[in-house]
Amino acid sequence: MPLFGTDGVRGLANGPLTADLALSLAQATAVVLGQGRTAEARRAAGKRLTAVVARDPRVSGEFLSAAVEAGLASSGVDVLDAGVLPTPATAFLIADMDADFGVMVSASHNPAPDNGIKIFARGGVKLPDIVEQRIEHAMAGPKLQPTGAAVGRIRRFADAEDRYVVHLLASLPHRLDGIHVVLDCAHGAASGVSPETFRDAGAQVTVIGADPDGLNINDGVGSTHLDKLAAAVRAHGAQVGIAHDGDADRCLAVDAEGRVVDGDQIMAILAVAMKERGQLAHDTLVATVMSNLGLHRAMAEHGIRVEQTAVGDRYVLERMNEGRFSLGGEQSGHVIMSDFATTGDGLLTGLHLVGEMARQGKTLAELASIMTVYPQVLVNVTGVDRSRANTDPGVSDAVATAAAALGDSGRVLLRPSGTEPLVRVMVEAASAEDAHRHAETLAEVVRDRLAL
C-alpha cells in the first residue's frame, strides 16, 4: 500500500506514523528534493539546503516535528522551525524565504490521535505523485550523512508569524472596519494568528475554539462542527462567523442568523467580486464535480466559466496551474486564491469574504443570495464492486433515466471510491423530495447490479 495518500502521509500517531518513520521520510526528502539545478547551485556557492518546518498544536506534533527536523539536519539541511502555524503559512514562508522545501506536521481536520506529514517543494507547492513516489523509494536507499560542520542547523524562525500576517493584510482590497466577526479556530494552528490578523484588519473579533491543549483539536469545533459557531454568532449579535479546521487550510462561514455559507457560496461571492475588479483570470472558476449545480448557474449568469476537476484540492490546484486561473476550490471550504497563495488558505479566504461585506455594505446573507443552493443528496452504497460503476449497462441506464427526468433542473453523479468497495451516488434537484427519491432509486440499482 502506498505511503502517501491524497494529502501527504497520514495515520495514527505512534501507530503507523512513528518517529522513526518521520525521521526516515525527512532523510529521503532531503535526498530527492536536494537534487536539481537550484540545489546544485546552492552547494556550489557553499550554501546548505534550507527547509521550513511547522506543525499544528496536537501533542504528537511535538515529537514528530522533532524527528522531521532531526532527519533533515542530519542530512545537511538547515531547518527554520516556525513552530505552530497553519499549513498555508508554511507554504507561504517556503516561498518568502526562498527555501528549498518545507514540511508541515498536521492531520488537518482529523481528531487529535491522528497526525500527518505534508511536504512542499520550492515555492510552497504540493508535490506531484511522481516525486512522492521517488521519496518513498528513497526511504529504502542510501541517505546523506555529512559530518562535522557539514550537518544542518536547527534555528527558531522568530518572525514567521509576523511575515505571514503582513502578507495576508497586504492582500486585502478593503479593510474590515465595522464588521463583528466570530472566529472558530478549531483549537488548531490558527488559534493565535487568525484573531490577530482579523483584528489588525479592523474587525471586531470574538473568538471560540482557540485554547489548544494538544488533545482538543477539532473536538466539536471548527469547520466540521459549525453548531457552536452559529450559536456564538447569534448570542453575540455578530454579523458573520468564520470557521477554520485544524491546520486552517479551510474556511466555512455562517451568516448573522447562523445559516451555513459553504465553499461553493464563498467561491461564488469571491468570483463575482474578482471579475468586477478585473482579477478573475480568464473569467474562470475551477471547482470539483461535487460543487452544487447552483454554483454553475450563478456563474453562468455573471459570465463566468466553471472548469470541473476530480474531487480533491490537489486536482483543483493542478488545473489552476495548467490554465493560469486565479480562483478555485471545493464545497468543503478549500478555497485557493492563486494570486496570494499556493494552497487553500482559510485565513486568506475568510479575510477576503468579510472584506466583501465591508466593501459592499451588505450582509453575508445578501452576498450569498447570488447563488441558489440546490438540494443535494449523497448516498454511500457499500459492499459493491466499484470497478464496474461506470461500465455496468443497468447502472448506466438508471443514471440516464434519472438525468432525463431531472432535465435542466438537476444533476446526477456516480463516483466510485478510490480505496473502498463503495460507490457514492449524488443527486441534485429543485426539491429535496426529488433529490431523495432519485438518489435512493439509483442507490438500489447500484446495490443490485454491483453487489459483491
Strand partners, 376: 428
List phi, psi (to 5°) of 172: -75, 130
Asked if residues 187 and 84 have their Cβ atoms less than 8 Å apart, the reply is: no
Cα separation, 264 vs 372, in Å, equals 10
List 60, 74, 108, 326, catalytic entry: 108
Question: Is 108 assigned a catalytic role?
Answer: yes
End-to-end CA distance of the chain: 22
Q: How confident is the model at residue 45 (pLDDT cuts 50, 70, 90)?
A: confident
Mean pLDDT of the chain: 95
Query: What is the per-residue pLDDT for 265?
Result: 98
pLDDT, tens digit, for every residue of 305-344?
999 999 888 899 999 999 999 999 999 999 999 999 999 9
Nearest 5 degrees, angle CA 320-CA 345-CA 414?
55
Query: Is residue 287's pLDDT more than 80?
Result: yes
pLDDT of 123 over the 90 cut: yes
What integer is the mean pLDDT of 220-248?
Answer: 97
Which residues are annotated as part of the binding site for Mg(2+)? 108, 245, 247, 249
With a cut of 80, say whether residue 42 has pLDDT above it.
Answer: no
pLDDT at site 137: 96
Q: Domain spanning 163-368: which CATH class is it, in words?
A: alpha beta
- pLDDT above 80: residue 41: no
Q: What is the pLDDT, as a whole number, of residue 5? A: 86
Q: Which of 132-136, 202-206, 246-250, 413-417 has the lowest mean pLDDT?
A: 413-417
Q: Average pLDDT, stretch 145-166?
A: 96
434 pLDDT higher than 70: yes
Residues in the chain: 452
Q: What pLDDT score was predicted for residue 419?
A: 67
Pick the CATH number of 9-158 from 3.30.70.100, 3.40.120.10, 3.40.50.300, 3.40.50.720: 3.40.120.10
For residue 28, what is its C-alpha cell?
A: 529521503
Q: How far is CA 126 from CA 53, 131, 251, in A?
A: 14, 10, 19
C-alpha 152: how far from chain center:
31
pLDDT for residue 369 is more than 70: yes
Give the tens place of pLDDT for each residue, 50-98. 999 999 999 999 999 999 999 999 999 999 999 999 999 999 999 999 9
| DSSP classification of residue 307 | E
What is the mean predicted confidence (pLDDT) over 370-388?
93
Inform me whether the pLDDT recorded for 25 exceeds 70.
yes
Domain layout of the chain by residue ranges: 9-158, 163-368, 376-450
* Average pLDDT of the residues in 345-373: 97
Give CA–CA dist 104/121, Å, rounded.
12
Instruction: Indicate if 163-368 has the same CATH topology as 9-158.
Output: yes
- pLDDT of residue 416 exceeding 70, the answer is yes
Q: Report residue 59 CA to chain centroid gap.
A: 22
CATH code of 376-450, in short, is: 3.30.310.50
Q: What is the pLDDT of residue 56?
A: 98
